[in-house]
């Protein structure tokens, strides 16, 4: 074969090779260098009270009554989400989260979830005081104090400050705030309707605090759980909350199924 023929063969081969590569790109077999990079792993920290700790959803693991069925643990099982610290603790108030849990987030944190505020209002304590004697002076006082606290707006103000503090410590994090489900079927009793109304008012303040923090520049998103348990409230056939008032560990706390509803709602918010 002549030199001219060899050169022509090389040219034809190069053109054929380039054509095959181009076809491969259009058919989806792109070279590795053009492949999309993997999605980053969420470096996740959970903050909050018993709802985030998982109290009542499984066996308590420690003095904070955390359980393996808590929604942060369920989120940890989602691909590309790594729960670095489960700081949520039963009984925590907004100020408790600020003083004992906030230090768990830092500049490396990329996802924070928060459920807190129920202990500030004391919804469970109201029911505990009022259930035995709904017409008592103690019950009337507890309800009046809760209504006064809600009217003051203090819970929303303190929560808004906490959200801004989280954003300052973890400027690269998405912060998802999840509130509380309305616990009782409507009309069970005047007491349960009072607790439902207080929970709804608390959720409204949580939502307002989240919106205010977002407006101030924090990367805060709000997940409303208020109506998430409808059809599965206390008083329904299959409640997602502990329904036995004589079982304080579980009463008015999400079951394992209820915790899974939190997980799914947060995932929907995250997209």
For the record, the structure tokens of 260 come out as 């899974």
Tally of CB atoms within 10 A around 146:
22
Burial 192-231 (b: 16+ CB within 10 A, else e): bebbbebbebbbebbbbbbebbbeeebbbbbbbbbebbee
SS (H, E, C) 52-102: HHCCCCCCCCCCCCCCCCCHHHHHHCCCCEEEEEECCCCCCCHHHHHHHHH
Q: How many residues does the chain have?
A: 271
What end-to-end distance do the CA atoms of the chain give, in Å? 63
Catalytic residues: 50, 253
């Amino acid at each position: 074969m002549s030199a001219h023929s060899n050169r022509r063969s090389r040219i034809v081969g190069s053109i054929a090779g380039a054509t095959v590569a181009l076809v491969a790109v259009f058919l989806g077999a792109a070279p590795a260098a053009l492949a999309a990079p993997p999605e980053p792993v969420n470096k996740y920290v959970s903050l909050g009270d018993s709802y985030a700790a998982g109290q009542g959803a499984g066996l308590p693991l420690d003095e904070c009554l955390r359980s393996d069925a808590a929604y942060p643990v369920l989120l940890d099982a989602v691909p590309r989400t790594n729960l670095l610290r489960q700081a949520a603790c039963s009984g925590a108030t907004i100020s408790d989260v600020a003083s004992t849990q906030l230090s768990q987030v830092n500049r490396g944190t990329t996802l924070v979830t928060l459920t807190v505020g129920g202990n500030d209002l004391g919804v469970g304590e109201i029911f505990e005081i009022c259930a035995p004697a709904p017409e008592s002076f103690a019950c009337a006082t507890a309800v009046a104090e809760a209504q006064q606290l809600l009217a003051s707006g203090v819970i929303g103000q303190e929560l808004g400050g906490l959200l801004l503090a989280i954003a300052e410590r973890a400027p690269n994090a998405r912060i998802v705030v999840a509130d509380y489900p309305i616990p009782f079927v409507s009309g069970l009793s005047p007491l349960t309707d009072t607790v439902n109304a207080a929970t709804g008012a608390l959720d409204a303040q949580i939502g307002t605090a989240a919106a205010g923090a977002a407006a101030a520049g924090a990367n805060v998103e709000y997940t409303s759980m208020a109506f998430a348990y409808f059809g599965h409230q206390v008083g329904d056939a299959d409640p997602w909350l502990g329904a036995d008032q004589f079982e304080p560990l579980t009463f008015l706390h999400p079951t394992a199924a209820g915790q899974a509803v939190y997980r799914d709602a947060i995932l929907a918010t995250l997209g």
